[in-house]
Structure 1
Amino acid sequence: MRLYLYILLSFLSICLLNSTFAQSRVWFDHPAKQWEEALPIGNGRLGAMVYGGVEEEELQFNEETLWTDGPRNYNKKGASKYLQNIRDLLDRGRQQEAEALAMREFMGLKSESEDPSAWLGKIGRIREQEHGPFAFAFDDSKWPSIAVPHYEGWESQGLEGLDGAVWFRYEFNLSKKELTELWSLDLNKIRTNDYTYINGKLVGQSKGDETRRLYQIPKGLLKEGRNSIAIQVINLEGKGGVAGYKDTKQSIGLKSSTGKLISLNGEWKYYIQDPNSPKIGSYQASYQPFGTLNLQFDHKEAKRYSRILDMDKGEVRVNYDAHGIHYKRTYFASYPNNFIGLRLQADQKGKITFRLSLNTKHQRAKLDHMMDSSIGMEVWVKNGSMRGTAFVKLKLKGGRVFYEGNDLVVKQADEVQIYLTASTNFKSYRELNDQYATIALDRSKNLWKSDFDKLYQIHQKDYQNLYHRFAIELYDSSQLDTIPTDRRLRRAVMLDDPGLLALYVQYARYLQIAASRTGSQPMNLQGIWNSSLEPSWGSKYTTNINLEMNYWPTEVLNLSELQDPLFQMIQDLHVAGAETAKEYYAARGWVLHHNTDLWRGTAPINNSNHGIWPTGGAWLVRHLWEHYLYTQDLHFLKEYYPIIKDATLFFKDFLVKDKVTGWLVSSPSNSPENGGLVKGPTMDHQIIRSLFDIFNQSSKILDSDNLLRDSISNMRNQIAPNQIGQYGQLQEWLVDMDDPQNKHRHVSHLWGLFPGNEINLIGTPQLVEAAKRSLVLRGDEGTGWSLAWKINFWARLKDAQHAYHMVKMLLRPADNGGGSYPNLFDAHPPFQIDGNFGGASGIVEMLLQSHTDGIELLPALPSEIGTGKVQGIKARGAFQINMEWKDGQLLGVTVESLSGEDLHLRYQNHEVKIQTKKGKSYAFDKELKLKK
């Protein structure tokens, strides 16, 4: 009877959840097998991924300020003396020479390095041995195995944090007939240096992870039957190993003169010769994982399992039955109290038994047995200044807890409450705090005195205050929320699922609330979630689109204050970028290139063919202006006006007159990350015009700098204009050299269409057609964030069905391409969170636009989402809107004026203009007639 009542109540609760929160959960009927299936929680400072294992649970967690490196100066003194030479070379069409000069003299400074010569000599002596690991008859039977190739580095195969020298060995067989052919060895990429042997003989050696490894095998070296390949891989920094091809359909292997391929993909033997390589400097720092909280339970199998991210409550729940007992776990990340909470419950007393451990991937770490129910862990980031400390505290109802080795063991508890806190020695981008650990411990002890239930309620109130401001429903006749999200994602490839679009928008809002809060760092390439010591692109801040895309939907989705971390970063960059402007361009103001990090590096990095791009700061100014447009907050505009002005002053000094056209152009620069170092990329000019317009408008509003405004207005009109090229396309560069076959993921020259607004259907119809032609030539395919950007483009073009087609592409399962992982994380691949926010921005751009003449309702509504409603959506001019539509037609709309601005509303061929009063709401019917 008891079991029957439990099943009935479970069924009723599921039905209630489906009817009330149909677009408010991401859920699975099984534990996560990989990180991209785990469910995220966060509070802006702490982030964690919940796997939900039955026998073994893993909670992988991050703290936002745990990065490599430390405070330092990124700028090369006197780089500006090479600026004119670089410009002259570009003027003469000598791009490669300009890039070479810039690479030598115009890049940022790397962090501290050690001379690797002695170490390379030491690890090289093994190659001089007669029977070394390269020898044909070498015995590697005791070596472990690893999957080869591994494009994302050996780190992805478990060798986290490894830099050094590693040997790989593999055996293959050839027939007598196959020996008559000529063979080459194709390994494609190796990270980073290699010495490659066949049957004990060196067949090739190369340096650099961009060098293709295609080695000819001398005739007579191969044997009938068994053959061996051995590779010494030397990796001083970053990802390591035999990378092979990014496209996993392409194998590394032996290639014959007749086109035959013998694949070498598989399990190879490996031996770590020396993991202690010298310190090698990097241009910028990388975001780091902190650790994992592991729980090991006394049951292995479960029935009626569910793992749910409940976005309405801001928590993850795991439910299952084992041995006739119902178990429930609840996970949440509290912003007000800065901790991660975990509650373990059972429907019978004394049934919670488990072992808890605290672990980390960092090589140097220390565990502390603080008391009978607490563990402390301190970690040191390799070759850097950063330290972090985490504390875990358990509170029990019933049962007992004790230490067993380094683990805490809980026996026969009724309920267990777990507090997880973490902090680092980060104080600001310019200094560290040596006393942080004592402060962190005191804060944690004060937290532990608080009632867990009360802390949970405080979290709920704080979270729901943000989440409940906005609601969206896109109707469908089926109850697809009953399908686990991973299966729902695959189903949506063939069948339309309007509710999945609504879920995706709300998921983006959840991720922003979890990753970007006042006082935290802004969201990086992975938001706040990262499990790798060598994350792709350092999981830092790429400012030639990715950082900005993270915040595209923040205002429209009614989460305005979540941009505070970005605005604080802009304040820091204003200071840091002033030195870069001076040292590299002898210019006033401030500048930011295509990346920054925790330590606010602003100098060019990586490579001169894409790292010298000076308009990152100008793009970020656009976010300041958009915040003002959405809020009409004059105090905010006054506060940030000096940053706007200084960004403008930089480009007043930076722009140069092109000798051929007479236009003002941006030089040197690039069109991210395409075409190398050039003068006059279209994107730059669109961004700079936008910056100049923002300065002119804000200075007028504040009645400041009238003479400067006149000068900037004059310069703006001299900047190289948008041009239409030979294929009818919008030109990407100053000269018409666009390749119609180029399918590059960046579509930078359409910045003026979105997120800018100078290319629009009302004012520039010819440029709109050219932009559309560029989109068609570039193609629909792309990485996850690129797909998301294209949704916004097509929405601005009011091509509803093409925009919807791009949404479908973004929401397809990520099978070695752009799309979405099972937990709805965006796939570059690998994971990048920008696509989640860019996709949400594109979906709401289909429903409402306010970037040109007033507010337009349902401007790009596809038939597949023809019925729905949205509440709490924001528009420029400080308006908050509720609207409903059915069968593709507006039913009605209510507009709340938050600042008393004039309202201009458009829908199809209907239009209304009225004066409004602050705080008053206005209701309109389907023809935009004002209701009395």
Structure 2
Amino acid sequence: MKPLITLIVSLLTASTIRAQAPVSQPLTLWYRQPAKQWVEALPIGNGRLGGMVFGGVETDHIQFNEATLWTGEPREYQREGAAQYLPKIRQLLADGKQAEAEALAQTHFMGRQSHEADYAQKKNVWFTNIRKLADTKAGPTAVTFDERTWKTMTVPTADGWERTGLEGLDGAVWFRTSFNLPQTWAGKDVILDLGRIRDQDFTYLNGELIGTSEGITKNRRYPIPANKLHVGENQIAIQVINLFDKGGFIGVKTTQPTFVVYPDGQQPTDGVPLKQPFSYWIQDENPPAAPRYQADYQPFGDLHLRFSGQGQPTNYRRELDLTTATSRVTYRANGVQFTREYLASAPGQAIAVHLTADKPGQISFEASLASPHKGHTTKTVDNQTLAISVQVRNGALRGESLLHIQTQKGRVSISGNKLVVSGADEATLYLTAGTNFKTYKDVSGDPATLSQRPMQALRTQRFNAVKAAHVREYQTYFNTLSLDLGHSANEQLPTDERLQRFDQSADPSLLSLYLQYGRYLLISSSRPGRNGVPAQPANLQGIWNDLLTPPWGSKYTTNINLEMNYWPAEMLNLSVCHEPMLAAIAEIAESGRKTAKAHYNARGWVLHHNTDLWRGTAPINASNHGIWVSGGAWVSHHLWEHYRYTQDRPFLKSKAYPLMKDAARFFVDFLVKDPKTGWLISTPSNSPEHGGLVAGPTMDHQIIRDLFKNCITASELLGTDAAFRDTLQTMYGQIAPNQIGKHGQLQEWLRDIDDPKDTHRHVSHLWGVHPGTDITWNDTPELMNAARQSLLERGDEGTGWSLAWKINFWARFRDGDHAYTMLKLLFRPAIAPDGMTGGGSYPNLFDAHPPFQIDGNFGGASGIAEMLVQSQGKTIDLLPALPAALPTGQINGICTAGGFVLNLRWQNGKLSGVDVTSRAGQPCLLRYGEKQVRIATEAGKTYRFGEGLQAI
């Protein structure tokens, strides 16, 4: 038994414990040029408002978002009566009839979609009308049709025609192009290759229909008989119909050319290309509202600044200072030094842009507001203020944004819907925004309230005061942790150049920057609500999105992505940023109770693999991946983690445990006995996005065991629900166990069917290693080795968030060097010199799935922390996975379970010291290598240890 250590260093309380002064290091992203793409722009945010700063010289652009602007409306998502099909689906799966089970589930078990009641009839009427034009002799299919008034588009557009200026377009669009048939091909049949199309096409050659198909997965390779062709120019007309989401020609991922015509029996490389660009005409952009399972997060608008007479700028620099949450652009033009500052203030509830020059009277520009939402309106409020109003298409939400300008000297005027500043010494723009969203069940709010109320206060404030309040508030979050992993010459380079060089040269401080950037993004996208306005959790893109049709709806994917967003919250001293997610769980549970009853005739609540602003919980999309029942159990893990790290007993009693208990009650009713093994199994379900609808996926059983275990412990701590606890304890031992398969791998499914050549991005059956604790070196080393074998078989490659998860796995396997290898892949530039994209990091350090998903940023930050400290078991493990590439460093302010804050130092790959501050007075068991030290702590006291855990 080690002697108790009682050295008191501080009497700081849990709410005021801060990291020691940050080690001097450049916590700044910076670039030598403005952003050309959205994934080069720099993010700012205050938890509710988000902005992307492009920093152009002659034209600047700040694209902005507001957290509650989504499509959709309050509605019921569950399909009443679905439960009657549950026994049949289970039986089909038990009989090995997966395809039949999926077909039955797709027809009768998926959740309700919006607008589904009368959609078919409306669509048929609309479709009939837009197809009539094809039969018109003088219409777009005619060879002699005059298309000179049409616009043009170069195809393919891999991200949809939305990226070519047609943002938000759904409906019917005509395209025309041509090709020249060589004389040598006369009499030959040919193939017309159009790649993939979203979503339906009718393709005509010389006025005659030659092919039609529907669906993104189908490559359009239409055979054309020789008798339909003639030597010389042949005219092609294509009607593309897209009813929702992205549209147009998206090409194919292949080295073979597309948009070519080639002789039948030969290769596309032997073909002639279609004439580029294609001409196009929008026939109808108002199709009936398509049924959607869940809603999409939306952009709000754009602030444009236009400058004249800037000349050729020199010494350009664009940056984001993580220590102050301030972006800045500086350059010199015409002998004048110009500076712009950008921030998103939580105290001010506004985005601010401040423009200055080192000579008087040099600030002149125009400012305007725009939005991708059709039908948006702008107006002049007064001679210093503009307003823009937006309405989400086919949805309940609308918004208002105000733009107000203040200047020192100079003149402000209105020209149309633009603010014009002339000859000012400095200028400040304040941007506010709000919607009519109040709760997921109530849209009776007034958008003007959230835009006008903060603006009234800002009108009387100077920028310096607004900035000072912003920095003070932000630093109460950010300054709780500092990290120094060493330094190199590369840290003086621009951030995009550091990414390019990371694989070839040491740059340890880039890891420090990346971890702190993850913390910055979490603070900026997930802050507690203010002034009675509830906060929303960080979604798939945090709070930043520029598309009306964002990837995967930019919603909350709960089969890993939402949860990964919050992996760093507790560990990296941002527990308060966890609150929006924890609050959302209570709302999800309300909806989930309806889904549990309607789909499973079960008590408690259930969450499938996605949710949105309206807290949908029913199965969505397709039965081969949308029926996954463990989302509620996984998010409940976060309730327990918040308690473990904070030791907040009132939170456990009044909020966490009731939700956890109700989530567990669902599985008490849902689990059934497998007739072949006698184990309790989860069926029907899915190993996320892999292997289709199945009975008994390993991941489910790991998560359910975790939920039951945590409920048992919580009920014991609270001295309640003994009978329910007994039920959980009995069932816990009956749940299908983790199994080791014939390849030495951890089985992903109930049957031993894993393919060692399978490199799927999801590694769901390793959930018990991380973030769970079902598999550990201490308790189940044989399973830990099997899990490691599974990860070796999956390989190191992956998309952004998958790479991030693998960093955490390798840290839990205590293999720091392999975890560092994964970091190299995560830092790999996502945009190659040839323009191709892949998994890694964009120039602004956003995670690339691709496209952008913010979960990889958060998962990567968590993985770096997991290399340094772990506390998932009974011990606090120090430097459990320190890579050789990081031999010396220190981290101040990292948190562990039990309510402890650590300042940790190491040199030459070995622990040199650790200070442990106890927030809750719990027992502490430190472990470094084979040595353990047990401490009986008092709240507010700090305990110091030196090299080898020797007490100081």
Q: TM-score range by the shorter chain?
A: over 0.9
What CA distance in whole angstroms lies between the structure 1 residues aligned with 2:261 and 2:83?
49
The answer to which of 388-397 and 722-731 deviates more is: 722-731
AA matched with 2:739: Q
Q: Find the aligned partners of 1:817 and 1:110 in 2 and give their Cα distance.
A: 33
> Following the alignment from structure 2 to structure 1, what is the Cα–Cα distance between the partners of residues 288 and 319?
45
> Is 1:102 the equivalent of 2:105?
yes
Residue 226 of structure 1, CA deviation = 2.7
Given candidates 361, 367, 371, the residue that maps to 2:382 is 371
SS at match of 1:326: strand
Aligned mates of 1:258, 1:465 — CA distance in 2: 66
CA contact (8 A) 1:46 1:333 kept: yes
Aligned to 2:43: 40
CA distance in 1, matches of 2:752, 2:277: 49
- Other structure's SS at 2:874 match: coil
Q: Are the counterparts in 1 of residues 348 and 454 from structure 2 also a CA contact under 8 Å?
A: no
The answer on 1:243 being equivalent to 2:250 is yes
Change (3 A) 1:881 1:404: same
Q: Answer with 557-566 or 862-871: which moved more.
A: 862-871
Aligned residue number for residue 729 of structure 2 = 713
For residues 250 and 747 of structure 1, do their structure 2 counterparts lie closer, same or farther at Cα, with a shift above 3 Å needed? farther
Distance in structure 1 (CA, Å) of the matches to 2:187 and 2:651:
76
Contact 2:49 2:543 in 1 (8 A): yes
**Residue 413 of structure 2 is aligned to residue 402 of structure 1:** yes
Coordinate RMSD, CA, aligned: 1.6
Per-residue CA deviation, residues 412-449 of structure 1 (Å, 9 max, x unaligned), is: 00111111100000000001125342564244223323
Amino acid corresponding to residue 266 of structure 2 in structure 1: T
Residue 655 of structure 1 is matched in structure 2 by: 671
Q: CA separation of 1:442/1:504 partners in 2, compared to 1, >3 Å: closer, same or farther?
A: closer
Measure, in 2, the Cα distance between the counterparts of 1:674 and 1:103.
17
The reply to whether residue 75 of structure 1 matches residue 78 of structure 2 is: yes
Q: What residue in structure 1 maps to residue 303 of structure 2?
A: 293
Q: Which amino acid aligns with 1:240?
A: G
Aligned residue identity for 1:547: L
1:281 alignment partner in structure 2: 291
SS in 1 for 2:514: helix
The 3 A distance-change label for structure 1 pair 400 and 588 is: same
Contact 2:317–2:330 (CA<8 Å) still a contact in 1?
Answer: yes
Residue 902 of structure 2 is matched in structure 1 by 881
1:185-205 per-residue CA deviation (whole Å, 9 max, x = no partner) reads 333421111112233332221
**Counterpart mapping for 1:842-861 below 5 A:** 842-861=863-882
Partner of 2:770: 754
- Residue 130 of structure 1 deviates from its aligned partner by 2.5
Instruction: Give the equivalent residue in structure 2 for 1:917.
Output: 938
Which fold has the larger relative contact order, with Cα–Cα distance below 8 Å and residues 6 or more apart in sequence? Answer: 2
Q: Is the 8 A contact 1:23 1:473 kept in 2?
A: no
SS in 1 for 2:748: coil
Whether the 8 Å CA contact 1:253–1:265 is kept in 2: the answer is no
- Equivalent residue in structure 2 for 1:786, among 794, 802, 806: 802
Q: If the length of structure 1 is used for normalisation, what is the TM-score?
A: 0.96
Aligned residue number for residue 697 of structure 2: 681
Partner of residue 440, structure 2 = 429
- The structure-2 alpha-carbon separation of the partners of 1:688 and 1:231, relative to structure 1 and needing over 3 Å to count, comes to same
Counterpart in the other structure of 1:501 = 511
For these two proteins, the number of residue pairs brought into alignment is: 912
Greater mean alpha carbon deviation, residues 604-613 or residues 845-854: 845-854
Q: How does 1:533-548 map to 2 (within 5 A)?
A: 533-548=548-563
2:434·2:450 contact (CA, 8 Å) conserved in 1? no
Q: Which whole-Å CA distance do the structure 1 matches of 2:684 and 2:805 have between them?
A: 26
2:258 and 2:943 map into 1 onto residues whose CA distance is 63
* Equivalent-residue separation in structure 2 for 1:509 and 1:801 (angstroms): 24
Q: What runs of 5+ residues in structure 1 fail to find an aligned partner?
A: 1-18
Secondary structure, counterpart of 2:286 in structure 1: coil
1:20: Cα distance to partner? 6.7
Give the aligned residue type for 2:579. D
Question: 1:866, CA displacement in angstroms?
Answer: 1.2
Residues 1:666 and 2:669 are matched in the alignment: no
Query: 2:140 is matched by which residue type in structure 1?
Result: P
Alignment map for 1:265-280 (pairs within 5 Å): 267-280=277-290
- Indicate the residue corresponding to 2:64 in structure 1: 61
* Cα 1:698–1:254 shift into 2, 3 Å: farther
- Pick aligned residue for 2:92 from 55, 75, 89: 89
Q: Give 1:581's aligned amino acid.
A: A
CA contact (8 A) 1:847 1:858 kept: yes
Q: Distance in 1 between matches of 2:895 and 2:446?
A: 43
For 2:576 and 2:276, the matched residues in 1 are separated by 50
- For residue 651 of structure 1, report the CA deviation from its aligned partner: 0.2
- Residue matched to 1:6: none
Counterpart check, 1:645 vs 2:661: yes
Contact 1:251–1:265 (CA<8 Å) still a contact in 2? no
In structure 2, relative to structure 1, the CA distance for the partners of 1:237 and 1:609 (3 Å cut) is: same
Which amino acid in structure 2 is aligned with residue 669 of structure 1?
A: S
Q: Which runs of 4+ in 1 moved over 4 A?
A: 178-182, 246-250, 263-266
Which residue matches 1:359?
370
Structure 2 CA distance, aligned partners of 1:306 and 1:96? Answer: 57
1:850, 1:876 within 8 Å by CA — same for their partners in 2?
Answer: yes
Provide the C-alpha distance between the structure 2 equivalents of 1:484 and 1:441, rounded to a whole number of angstroms. Answer: 39
Match of 1:101, SS state, is helix
Q: Report the CA distance shift for 1:449/1:526 in structure 2 as closer, same or farther (over 3 A).
A: same
Q: Distance in 2 between matches of 1:599 and 1:314?
A: 30
1:770 aligns with 2:805: no
Which of 841, 846, 849 is the matching residue for 1:825?
846
Residues in 2 aligned to 1:152 and 1:247: alpha-carbon distance in whole angstroms: 16
**Correspondence for 2:644 among 629, 632, 635:** 629
Write out per-residue CA displacement over residues 551-610 of structure 1, whole angstroms, 9 at most, x where no aligned residue.
Answer: 001111100000000011001011111111111111000010000000000111111111
2:163 aligned partner: 156
Query: Take 2:257 and 2:480, find their aligned partners in 1: how far apart are those partners?
Result: 48
Change beyond 3 A, Cα 1:250–1:509 = farther
Task: State yes or no: 1:234 paired with 2:241.
Answer: yes
Whole-angstrom CA distance in 2 between matches of 1:587 and 1:267: 57
Distance change >3 Å, CA 243–CA 61, structure 1 → 2: same
Matched position secondary structure for 2:412 = strand
Q: For 2:280 and 2:676, locate their aligned partners in 1 and report how far apart those are by CA, in whole Å.
A: 58
- The 5 A counterparts of 1:292-371 are 292-298=302-308, 299-371=310-382
Deviations 1:228-265 (A, max 9, x none): 33221101111111122256876454454133433559
Structure 2 partner of 1:259 = 267
1:677-725 CA-to-partner distances (Å, cap 9, x unmatched) read: 1111111000000000011000000011101111111101111111111
- Distance (Å, rounded) in 1 between the aligned partners of 2:255 and 2:114: 34
Q: Secondary structure at the match of 1:553?
A: helix
Would you say the 8 A contact 2:196–2:216 is kept in 1?
Answer: yes
CA distance in 2, matches of 1:684, 1:780: 24
* SS class of match (1:927): helix
In the TM superposition, what is the alpha-carbon distance from 1:178 to its structure 2 partner? Answer: 4.3
Contact kept, 8 Å, 1:55 with 1:301, in 2: the verdict is: no
1:736 aligned residue: 752
Which segment is superposed worse, 731-740 or 372-381? 731-740
- The CA deviation string for residues 483-540 of structure 1, in whole angstroms up to 9 with x for no partner, is 1111111011322211111110000000011000002200000000000011011100
1:300 offset after TM fit, Å? Answer: 4.4
Q: Residue 863 of structure 1 aligns to a residue in which SS?
A: coil
| Structure 1 position 383 matched with structure 2 position 398 | no
Tell me the TM-score normalized by structure 2: 0.94
Q: Is 1:210 paired with 2:213? A: no
- Where does structure 2 lack aligned partners over 5 or more consecutive residues? 1-21, 530-534, 832-836
- 1:853 Cα deviation from its structure 2 partner: 3.2
Q: Are the counterparts in 2 of residues 364 and 381 from structure 1 also a CA contact under 8 Å?
A: no
Query: Is 2:128 aligned against 1:112?
Result: no
Is 1:447 aligned to residue 468 of structure 2?
A: no
Over residues 852-874 of structure 1, what are the superposed CA-to-partner deviations in whole Å (9 max), with x where a residue is unaligned?
23011111111111111111011
Deviation string, structure 1 residues 770-797 (Cα, Å, up to 9, x no partner): 1111111111111100010111111111
